């Protein structure tokens, strides 16, 4: 065949086209792991995360992916194993869902201070009880204060791209912190969509090898990791992780620019995505696959002459506080839809609404009302009519008609 005799130099010049495939968000992340040439994968089944481990094991079984695939005896071990592998220089992948993620909590808490660039997929799932499979964001959000980077994606394409971005961000020497990609259970983990899969050559160009440098645990670099320390060390160690969060936004911005340059797909502002906000009076804001019904609802309301837009928060940690506050201060009111809860929080709102209010208090000149809406829990659908009701309340707030600071949507009662 002609291609076999083609000189190497010439072959390099050939423009490599993306391949298109109909795959789920979980499968997209599995393919990203293959492309990223991940060294160690640990697995323990829990729905909906387990689909990703099934896909990876399939890739390994088919000889398409070469990695250590370790089925652990529980999530705690699952995350401990990758933690240790990462300290020894391996690129790692793991993940979990709901209470599985919580069972790994001890391992999750120690990884940021140990500067472990672990990439995990959280198939968002309601925390027990009641036992439920559906999406809720409280699982991934449980690590929000600990130094993890947290991002929510809304499509299989974005899942694949973000997984590649995740390795580049987490393994940047300025970072070296764990990163979790949240995928809404069912809506994303189990829904197949058309995805452009980049070539291994492109990915190789984008993703340098993981170099742990002087933090590598190796007989040739004798170090001791994770000793016990007294009160005269801990504050300084926390300050080191704080410094990472100070740098995080810049690193993420750089990596997205590089991604766009190599793969050609544009994500614009990495931290949040705006939909029909240009002339909007009010906006709704949320994370994850809520964006689909939100876009539909926005278009419907626009047809009715309501000037409403939608903002999808892509990165929760780092939280682009000043930037999002600056963006949102031009609207008359904001409605935050939380697929989570934060019982007993100020105003009894969800996590995102509470964080956003904090960002707006210091970062915006106008401080428009921020209404909180809790809904879609346990995998319940957030419908277009639900979102229309949300928007009505936000418009009322914009007009100065007092609204409750927290409302439940899609609730029987």
Partner 1 sequence: MGQLFAVEIIYRGVFQKTLAKNITRDIVLAAHNEGKLGISFGRYGDAPERNGIPAKSFAIVANDEQTLQEGMAQYEPKQVDLTVVLDDTLCKGAESWAWYGLQPVHHALKPGHALIVVSLQDAPALLKTIHRREQPYKLGILKGVTSFSGMWVYKDDHTDVRVLGAIAKALPEIVSLQAIEQFITEKLKSPLKVTSAKTAYDRFMTIDVEAGAGNPEELFKFELPKWEDMRDGVSIKGQPQGGPYKDPVTGQVGGFRPARNELFKKYSSRTQRPVVNFATCTKCTLCWLNCPDASFDVTAENTYDVNLEACCGCGVCEEVCPVQDCITMVNESQFKDNRSQYEAFQKDKDAYLKWLEKTIESAVPIEKRTHGFRYRGQYQEQVPEALEVARKG
By CB under 8 A, tell whether 223 contacts partner 1: yes
Residue 375, CB-side half-sphere exposure with 13 Å CA sphere: 24
136 half-sphere exposure, CB direction, 13 A CA radius: 26
Q: Is residue 220 a contact point for partner 1 (CB under 8 A)? A: no
Per CB under 8 A, the list member of 10, 129, 145, 232 interacting with partner 1 is 232
Using alpha carbons, list the distances in angstroms from residue 406 to 118, 313, 342, 350.
35, 19, 11, 8
- Least distance (Å) from partner 1 to the CB of residue 7? 45
Q: How far is the CB of 91 from partner 1 (least distance, A)?
A: 17
Positions 20 through 39 that interact with partner 1 (CB under 8 A):
none
Name which position in 19, 192, 240, 366 contacts partner 1 (CB under 8 A). Answer: 240
Residue 214 binding partner 1, by CB under 8 A: yes
Nearer to partner 1, 221 or 366 (CB): 221
Residue (5 or 235) nearer to partner 1, CB:
235
Q: Are 321 and 293 in contact (CB under 8 A)?
A: no
Q: By CB under 8 A, is residue 230 in contact with partner 1?
A: yes
Please report the DSSP string for 44-91 in residue order: ---TTTHHHHHHHHHHHHTTS---EEEE-SSHHHHHHHHHHHHHTT--
Of the candidates 120, 95, 94, 77, the residue with the CA atom closest to the CA atom of residue 40: 94
Closest distance of CB 145 from partner 1, Å: 18
Q: Is residue 222 involved in binding partner 1 (CB under 8 A)?
A: yes
Identity of the residue, 176 or 310, whose beta carbon is nearer to partner 1 in the bound complex = 176
**In the complex, least distance from residue 174 CB atom to partner 1, rounded to whole angstroms:** 10
Total chain residues near partner 1 (CB under 8 A): 25
What part of residues 68-107 is at the interface with partner 1 (CB under 8 A)?
A: 87
CB 58 within 8 A of CB 65: no
Please select the residue that binds partner 1; options are 16, 22, 226, 257, rule is CB under 8 A: 226
Nearest one of 123, 131, 152, 114 to 315, comparing CA atoms = 152
Cα distances (angstroms) measured from residue 274 to each of 34, 285, 310, 365 = 31, 9, 6, 20
Q: Which residues bind partner 1 (CB under 8 A)?
A: 87, 113-116, 176, 214-215, 222-233, 235-237, 239-240
């Amino acid at each position: 065949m002609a291609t076999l005799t083609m000189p190497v130099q010439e072959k390099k010049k050939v423009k490599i086209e993306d391949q298109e495939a109909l795959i789920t968000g979980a499968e997209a992340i599995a393919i990203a792991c293959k492309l990223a040439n991940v060294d160690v994968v640990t697995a323990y089944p829990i729905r909906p995360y387990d689909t990703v481990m099934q896909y990876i094991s399939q890739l390994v079984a088919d000889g398409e992916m070469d990695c250590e695939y370790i089925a652990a005896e529980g999530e705690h071990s699952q995350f401990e194993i990758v933690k240790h592998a990462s300290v020894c220089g391996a690129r790692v992948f793991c993940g979990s869902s709901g209470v599985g993620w919580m069972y790994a909590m001890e391992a999750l808490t120690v990884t940021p201070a140990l500067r472990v660039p672990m990439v995990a997929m959280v198939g968002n799932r309601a925390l027990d009880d009641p036992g439920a499979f559906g999406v809720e964001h409280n699982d991934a959000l449980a690590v929000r204060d600990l130094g993890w980077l947290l991002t929510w994606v809304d499509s299989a394409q974005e899942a694949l791209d973000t997984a590649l971005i995740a390795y580049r961000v987490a393994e940047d020497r300025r970072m070296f912190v764990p990163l979790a990609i949240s995928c809404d259970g069912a809506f994303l983990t189990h829904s197949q969509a058309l995805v452009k899969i980049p070539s291994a050559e492109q990915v190789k160009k984008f993703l340098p090898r993981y170099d742990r440098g002087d933090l590598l645990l190796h007989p040739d670099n004798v170090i001791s990791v994770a000793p016990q320390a007294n009160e005269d060390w801990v504050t300084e160690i926390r300050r080191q992780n704080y410094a990472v969060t100070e740098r995080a936004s810049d690193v993420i911005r750089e990596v997205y620019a590089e991604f766009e340059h190599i793969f050609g797909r544009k994500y614009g502002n990495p931290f949040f995505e705006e939909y029909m906000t240009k002339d909007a009076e009010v906006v709704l804001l949320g994370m994850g696959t809520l964006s689909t019904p939100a876009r539909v609802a926005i278009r419907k309301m626009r047809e009715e002459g309501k000037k409403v837009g939608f903002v999808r928060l892509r990165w929760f940690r780092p939280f682009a506080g000043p930037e999002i506050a600056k963006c949102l201060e031009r609207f008359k009111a904001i409605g935050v839809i939380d697929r989570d809860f934060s019982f007993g929080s100020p105003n009894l709102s969800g996590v995102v609404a509470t964080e956003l209010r904090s960002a707006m208090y210091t970062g915006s000149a106008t401080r428009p009302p921020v209404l909180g809406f809790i809904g879609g829990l346990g995998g319940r659908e957030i419908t277009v009519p639900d979102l229309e009701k949300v928007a009505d309340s936000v418009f009322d707030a914009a007009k100065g008609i007092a609204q409750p600071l927290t409302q439940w949507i899609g609730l029987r009662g």
